[in-house]
A and B are shown apart, each in its own frame.
Chain A
Amino acid sequence: MTHVAAIGTYLPCWGSPRGRVAGGDEDAVTLAVEAGRAAIDAADGGDPAGGVQRVVLVSRELPLLEGGNAAVLLAGLGLDPEIEVSERLGGAPAALDALTSARPWTMVIAADVQPFAGAAAALVAGSGLHVVPAARLARSLPVRTRSATGEVHDYGDPRLLRERGVLASLASLGAGGADKPLALAGVDAKQAAAVCAGRPPALPTTGASSALFALAALAESRWSGPLFAAEQATVSGVRVGEGVAAVLRGEPSPRPVPASTFTPGKEIPVSLAAYDRAFSAKVRFEAGRQAETGELDFPPRYRVGQDGALHTDYTLVPLPRTGTVYTGVTVRIPVPGLPTPYSLVIVELDEVGVRVLAPVTGASPGTAQIGDRGRMVLRRVAVRSGVPDYGYAFCPDKPEEAAA
């Protein structure tokens, strides 16, 4: 039996009630970090991040097949780089499987970018909401395929998928009888309603994360019963039982994606030597605290004293993630390689007197004003010559008001 202590969810602010769209600065890793941080915040156990011993990321949208997502994921979550990360390719059934096979102190995160974006994370612990594996069936009905190079083929027969895929698999598992599922993840709302008992929870995605969004809904409603997840003809089921999981949802109401232009041009160059030097402070959002003076430097740096002595002795310390806009601009001319317009702000972080230069996220370009409050969030700030470049962006607290 698995005990889920906390569940965090994240939906991008862009899109419509029908489904969310990832921002241009978001990918499966940044979505996963948002959900994972929400789960850690939901657990709220003093030093919950310190309790996590393993991370499993389930997605079919891993940003890098080679080159590594794990370091960014751990840094974004504020977890130790020695923690094991498993990256699993899969949909909703794989997310449920990851949950039921997880040992205590595993963070299971599922993230989707297409067709709808969202992520959810479950923190498996020693106590919490009981989840027991109930059924599993792998069948092949590859109505949609994607090759290693990303080429997608659609067979184009939704009724075949429904009849010979999900329904046939559920029937062979005996899930259509008296003990109907409370929720069915991995399918659209209409199909879920046709299969489930009562009125199943509305789920914002149809991929891996939908299984954990369903679990969050059951945890909030305190319903006990079967939860199924499907992907094409493959199905997994669990039984959700007693116990309580804290749920924290980062789900701002959806807004239309702002108009944006992408100007092709030369690839934005990257120096991986510079990337490597900056990585820890940049992706963990940590300043260098000078040993002698206690002063904070962001980015961390060596200093030279008045006596000419070199001071290299600094320790990395986390920076506050809230602050106020000191100044900001909006770039409206086309800049090759970046979607325009975009806003850049200098944010004065609370309490420490440290300022950071950051792109604005989660708000229409041009709406963030001097004095606005917000928080710093991990985003993919650029893709440079094939390398996703992660850093922190400023997300205004009240983007709608700023826009008004």
Chain B
Amino acid sequence: MREVAIVGAGMTPFAEHFSLGIKDLLPMAFAECAASVDKGLDVADIQAAWFGELSTTDGFPSGILADTCGLLDVPVTHVENACATGNDAVRNAVMGIASGFYDVVLVMGADKVRESASKDTFWEWAGMTRDMAWDYPLGLVAPANFALHVARYLHESPATREHMAMVAVKNHHHAVSNPKAQLRFDITVEQVLNAPMVVEPFGLYDCTPQSDGAAALLLAAADVADRYTNRPVRIRGVGLGLDRVMHQHKRDMTTFPATVRAAKAAFAMAGLTPADVDVAEVHDCFTGVELISYEDLGFCPRFEAYKLVEAGATSVGGSIPVNPSGGLKAKGHPPGATGVAQCVELFEQLRGSASNQVDGARIGLAHNVGGPTAVSAVTLLEGPAAAGRART
């Protein structure tokens, strides 16, 4: 199996891009990715592309990508795997190179959530994830899917709404310095706790905003990466995990087995452990989900996630900084783009050029969970400084 590296990364700001369509966002992200390639990119070098998009804004996704990015001569594959779409697109592209099929491929992710009236979004997105006869009519809107887990988690674990609020405060603070983030302002624990309730136990500030955006990664086989950069970011591990789809079939709702499975696969492939991770971009669509994910990813023992936020361990400057970009919570969450953008952030973190840099970061982890809560993807990256001494 050939090793794969990221040699370029770029993204649009995440925002309510009312004035930009998917056909604008895709070439914008692609061009920024191309510009990030240290030794330059000839678009003709790209042999294939994978495109993660959860919805199908303005037409069928593969064709839109090929058309808008000038890639009409290469195969383009649409990846859709709920909120794990982005990191699963990365995983599929990795297989394309690792198998020896291609040397240079493009991964993109994008979504236009704000293309619909905000009040219609509930039913449109629920229709993509729920059983039409059994669950859909009950009004199991996106926050409710995760709130069912977090309500039980708060019941069984010592964590409280205050700990969830600390996650929101941390991620908002991280986003302040990120020019690509959607919500670039600090908030306080009191503001989070006193915000209007969305779906108990989530108040407004416990929830990700609705976002539009696109992100792009240029992947190359490690043995040709030096054509593009002397500082490639190696993709050490990828993993995808699934779980029962209906919430009533999940025996223990204080954990996401999909994440546990994805992480196990990615760590096994990388030959790494959670203790090796220096910086992580974790799926924090709702604050409580970040807490549960600390445990599922192995950053702390079960029901001890609250200790990490209490100690500031997951803030930049702490022992395991999580979501230095602001995370989904403050950077934004256009689902197809989210996982790809996590890798854009980690590409910069591991090359020492991030806007909210984690000092000396060597190993990065990107994580999505969605479906809701029935699929997860984990990607493990390693920065160039450590490339020489990494295990293979």
Q: Would you call B248 and A384 a contact (CB within 8 A)?
A: no
Q: Would you call A346 and B247 a contact (CB within 8 A)?
A: yes
Q: Would you call B123 and A329 a contact (CB within 8 A)?
A: no
Question: How many residues on B have C-beta within 8 angstroms of the other chain's C-beta atoms?
Answer: 34
Q: Would you call A327 and B253 a contact (CB within 8 A)?
A: yes
Q: Roughly how many angstroms separate A328 CA and B147 CA in the complex, as a whole number?
A: 8
- A-B CB pair tally, cutoff 8 Å: 109
B200 at the interface (CB under 8 A from A): yes
A299 at the interface (CB under 8 A from B): yes
Q: Would you call B141 and A331 a contact (CB within 8 A)?
A: yes
Chain A residues in 8 Å Cβ range of B138: 344, 357-359, 381-382, 391
Min CB gap B206→A, angstroms: 12
Q: Would you call A370 and B119 a contact (CB within 8 A)?
A: no
B41 at the interface (CB under 8 A from A): no
B155 at the interface (CB under 8 A from A): yes
Q: Would you call A282 and B134 a contact (CB within 8 A)?
A: yes
Considering only CB atoms, which chain A residue lies closest to B139 in the complex? A338
Q: Roughly how many angstroms separate A342 CA and B119 CA in the complex, as a whole number?
A: 17
From B119, B200, B248, contact of A355 by CB (8 A): B248
From B120, B135, B137, B141, contact of A384 by CB (8 A): B137
B2 at the interface (CB under 8 A from A): no
Question: How many residues on A have C-beta within 8 angstroms of the other chain's C-beta atoms?
Answer: 43
Max chain A Cβ within 10 angstroms of own Cβ: one of B199, B246, B247: B199
Min CB gap A394→B, angstroms: 11
Chain B residues in 8 Å Cβ range of A337: 123
Q: Would you call B248 and A336 a contact (CB within 8 A)?
A: no
Q: Known contacts A336-B119, A357-B138, A391-B137: does B148 contact A327 (CB below 8 Å)?
A: yes
Q: Would you call B127 and A269 a contact (CB within 8 A)?
A: yes
A330 at the interface (CB under 8 A from B): yes
Q: Would you call A327 and B123 a contact (CB within 8 A)?
A: no
Q: Roughly how many angstroms separate A330 CA and B143 CA in the complex, as a whole number?
A: 10
Q: Would you call B119 and A328 a contact (CB within 8 A)?
A: no
Kindly supply a per-residue 1/0 record for chain A positions 260-297, scoring 1 wherever the CB is within 8 Å of any chain B CB and 0 otherwise. 00010110111100110110001000000000000000
Q: Would you call B137 and A332 a contact (CB within 8 A)?
A: no
A202 at the interface (CB under 8 A from B): no
Chain A residues in 8 Å Cβ range of B198: 332-333
Q: Would you call A331 and B199 a contact (CB within 8 A)?
A: yes
B128 at the interface (CB under 8 A from A): no
Max chain A Cβ within 10 angstroms of own Cβ: one of B127, B138, B201: B138
Chain A residues in 8 Å Cβ range of B133: 271, 274-275, 277-278, 282, 299
Kindly supply a per-residue 1/0 record for chain A positions 84-121, scoring 1 wherever the CB is within 8 Å of any chain B CB and 0 otherwise. 00000000000000000000000000000000000000
Q: Would you call B137 and A357 a contact (CB within 8 A)?
A: no
Give B contacts to A, CB under 8 Å. Answer: 119-120, 122-123, 127, 131-135, 137-141, 143-144, 147-149, 151-152, 155, 196-201, 246-249, 253
Can you report 16 A-B residue pairs in the complex whose CB atoms are below 8 A from each other? A263-B119, A265-B123, A271-B132, A327-B155, A329-B151, A333-B141, A333-B199, A335-B139, A335-B141, A338-B139, A344-B144, A355-B248, A357-B248, A381-B138, A382-B139, A384-B137
